[in-house]
Amino acid sequence: MATYPGVAIGESDKIGSEAEQILLEIPEVITTSRKTGRAELAEHSFGANVSEIEVPFELKDRPRVAFLEDVRTRLNEIPGVIIEVGQPITHRIDHMLSGTRSNIAIKLFGNDLRKMYSLAKDIEGKIEDVPGVVDLFVEQQVETPQIQIRPRRELLARYGIPVHEFNALVSAGIGGIKVSDVFEGEKKFDLVLRFRENYRDDIESIRKLMIDAANGKKIPLEQVAEIRSASGPYSINREDVRRKIVISANVAGRDLRSVVNDIRTRVNQEVSLPEGYIVEYGGQFESESRASRTLLLTSIGAILLIFLILYQEFRNTRIAAIILLNLPLALIGGVFAIWITSGVISIPSIIGFITLFGIATRNGILLVSRYLSIKEEKLPPKEVIIQGSLDRLNPILMTALSAALALIPLAVNGNLPGNEIQSPMAIVILGGLLSATVLNLFIIPIVFYSRLKKEERS
């Protein structure tokens, strides 16, 4: 959670403690631990206005989705804070993918920070009611007081002062320059050289700072520079040398791809971007898109490979095609299982579909190979189908039942930590296994019987 940039560490700690008390009132929460601020040299550093609260929990009488919604609702009651709810690993992955800790990062690039912030708030307002969007916020831009020192180049030239000497005086004298390290036991400190505080603690003192001219004389800094009090942004973020502001969002209750598509549509239709301002999208969906393309190619390759193996075994294209009829039969159950559970086709569920290809093909091979074996005994088509089906009924049901019993614990415990990948895959395989096993015992015999009747007539 984040408060306004520049807030004192004590106030940020107070708000963090308040958030922890709210979380501990939720029945599922076991304990909390918090980090407020992070060192500048640390990985994924952030300011004192940001806190990370780790919350181990154990689900009891309600599902994970309802628990997370309760967490968001309660924490959003704290005034002046922005909340993101997720898992530590996913936050790190999101940060590596898009530079933010959210599932979706809408990056707005431009030149004028005030204009960019206005456009970002407009985008936020347009997409806040998109179904599935949660934890939506715009990167905070807070004006902070500044003293601006701008060189007057014509006067610098008149006094023979190079620009780099002017910059060195300002950066070293006021900002300070590290000249060495100081060690005290195991602690190390920077030794910084700069002007005393009474020469740099207010604007009038800075104006009276003396700088060396080319003739050896010293002249006041205000004589060769414009020094004024102003305000400016707390921070300026860039990507590929371009200024950017990020609108971040997480996704709950929907698949990531469809949410991003809806956001793109809203922004394209309802937000008018001036010339020189562009929007780019980043986050997990980019990796998901690449993984989906890879899995699509893998699925096509798996089907082709299965067909080639079947053809190699039976030396008959039609028989191989009959066995492959099990694939759509398996897809029916897998899709239905997704529809009655999460409604989201994820990467694990796609892997489950690929696994189903092998299981469904095995059932078809068991039936068809037995039909072909009995067919050599010159029995009528009807007898071939009945006897072959009876012979293979027990093996098909036993293998399907053993696989289903092994998958049921994974499918029903999807809310437990660590089952986020296994559970969707198990649900797909279970549903596909059910439909493929049941329909295989009807569709394959019917199709093969039709083939036998045609051969008999011919």
Which pLDDT band, with edges at 50, 70 and 90, does 82 fall under?
confident
* 229: pLDDT strictly greater than 70: yes
Question: What span, in angstroms and rounded, lies between the C-alpha atoms of 375 and 206?
Answer: 102
Question: What span, in angstroms and rounded, lies between the C-alpha atoms of 176 and 183?
Answer: 19
Chain segment 295-309, per-residue pLDDT in tens = 788 888 888 888 888
Q: Where are the alpha helices (DSSP H) in 315-380?
A: 317-324, 326-340, 347-375
pLDDT more than 90, % of the chain: 9
Q: Where are the alpha helices (DSSP H) in 197-283?
A: 203-207, 256-270
For the ranges 185-189, 330-334, 345-349, which has the lowest average pLDDT?
345-349
For the ranges 82-91, 189-198, 199-208, 256-265, which has the lowest average pLDDT?
82-91
For the ranges 59-63, 91-95, 189-193, 328-332, which has the lowest average pLDDT?
91-95
**Contact by Cβ (8 Å): 437, 397:** yes
* Element containing residue 190 per DSSP (H, E): strand 187-193
| Residues present in the chain in total | 458
* Tokens 């804070």, located at residue: 81
> What pLDDT, on a 0 to 100 scale, did the predictor assign at position 99?
62
**Contact by Cβ (8 Å): 146, 230:** yes
Which pLDDT band, with edges at 50, 70 and 90, does 40 fall under?
low
Side-chain half-sphere exposure of 417, counting CA atoms within 13 A: 9
Mean pLDDT of 36-42: 69
* 419: pLDDT strictly greater than 70: no
**Contact by Cβ (8 Å): 357, 301:** no
Residue 130: how many other CB atoms lie within 10 Å: 19
449 alpha carbon, distance to own chain's centre: 51
* 284: pLDDT strictly greater than 80: no
Question: What span, in angstroms and rounded, lies between the C-alpha atoms of 448 and 331?
Answer: 21
* 248: pLDDT strictly greater than 60: yes
pTM above 0.85, yes or no: no
pLDDT more than 70, % of the chain: 93
Of 79, 91, 27, 10, residue with least CA distance to 53: 91
Four-residue CA torsion sign, 17, 20, 24, 30 = negative
* 42: pLDDT strictly greater than 60: no
Helix axes 381-412, 347-375, angle to 10 degrees: 160
**Contact by Cβ (8 Å): 43, 91:** no
Distances (CA, A) of 138 to 155, 208, 280, 284: 43, 41, 15, 18
Which pLDDT band, with edges at 50, 70 and 90, does 26 fall under?
very high
Q: Where are the alpha helices (DSSP H) in 59-161?
A: 64-75, 88-98, 113-127, 153-159
Residue 412: how many other CB atoms lie within 10 Å: 14
Say what the alpha-carbon torsion angle 403, 409, 410, 412 is, to the nearest 10 degrees.
Answer: 120
* 33: pLDDT strictly greater than 90: yes
Averaged confidence pLDDT in the chain: 83
Mean pLDDT of 265-284: 86
* Tokens 């004006």, located at residue: 143
DSSP helix/strand/coil, 233: strand
* 23: pLDDT strictly greater than 90: yes
Quickly list DSSP for 402-434: HHHHHHHHHHHTTTSTT-TTHHHHHHHHHHHHH
> What pLDDT, on a 0 to 100 scale, did the predictor assign at position 92?
67
Question: What span, in angstroms and rounded, lies between the C-alpha atoms of 325 and 327?
Answer: 5
> What pLDDT, on a 0 to 100 scale, did the predictor assign at position 314?
81
Output 421 or 359, whichever has higher pLDDT.
Answer: 359
Show Cβ contacts of residue 166 under 8 Å, excluding neighbours closer than 6 positions.
151, 156, 211, 224, 225
Mean pLDDT of 344-356: 78
Mean pLDDT of 10-25: 92
> What pLDDT, on a 0 to 100 scale, did the predictor assign at position 298?
82
Mean pLDDT of 91-102: 65
Question: What span, in angstroms and rounded, lies between the C-alpha atoms of 192 and 175?
Answer: 9
Question: What span, in angstroms and rounded, lies between the C-alpha atoms of 49 and 38?
Answer: 10
* 104: pLDDT strictly greater than 80: yes
Q: Which two tokens stand for residue 281?
A: 């999208």
DSSP helix/strand/coil, 60: coil
Chain segment 379-405, per-residue pLDDT in tens = 888 888 888 888 888 888 888 888 888
* 336: pLDDT strictly greater than 70: yes
